[in-house]
Amino acid sequence: MSKASRPRTAVERRERLQQFLDALDQRYPNVTCALHHNDAWQLLVATILSAQCTDERVNKVTPELFRKYPTIQDFAAVSQDELARDIHSTGFFNNKAKSIIGAAQKILNEFGGEIPREIDQLLTVPGAARKTANVVLGTAFGIASGVVVDTHVSRISQRLDLTKETTPEKIERDLVRILPRERWIQFAHQIIHFGRELCVARKPKCAECPVEALCYAKDKSPL
């Protein structure tokens, strides 16, 4: 396949995808979730906090938060107003506080204090939409329930023509269809790092990109 040409056949598309995955493996061989956590509950809280907020900001808030509330029981008992004050800098603090308290109470009352390992059960927990559920199951338990679709995964999957869809649910459906299941968890972590380091939204660093020859996006930066 010539440089930056659009694949025409299913075989060419599979070959292009494999080249892309190989390049990610070479550049980001051991990346994992950027949210700091010690267990599945802390990861769930951190992921809820990360909505419309940077991981860097969340990682500044959670150390003190988990010192103040060391157990899931502590989160279940705190008032919404107090927790909202504690997480104020992450934005949308009232909704996030309500979700975290509701999640703690649901997990204690219905799941014996253990984070559910079935996605259908985890999706019933307040604050655990599909992206959050995939993060927790994949990172905390190594369960490939789907592909995490955040802003980086959404943007880059479209940019690299891995999907033509625009909603997270449909993008995930396309990625699950074309990616081997054993790649679902790692793929998202790698793409997120790739999006932050090289394939940035406003001015992609195409001259430094290891997959530049595979990319035929219209808004590529000059080499």
Residues with catalytic function? 131, 150
- Four-point Cα dihedral 140, 143, 144, 145, nearest 10: -90
Query: Please, are residues 87 and 119 in contact by the beta-carbon 8 Å criterion?
Result: no
Closest CA to 68 of 96, 50, 90, 45: 45
Can you tell me the distance from the alpha carbon of 67 to that of 41, in angstroms, rounded to the nearest whole number?
14
Can you tell me the distance from the alpha carbon of 123 to that of 135, in angstroms, rounded to the nearest whole number?
12
Quickly count: other Cβ atoms within 10 Å of residue 212's Cβ: 19
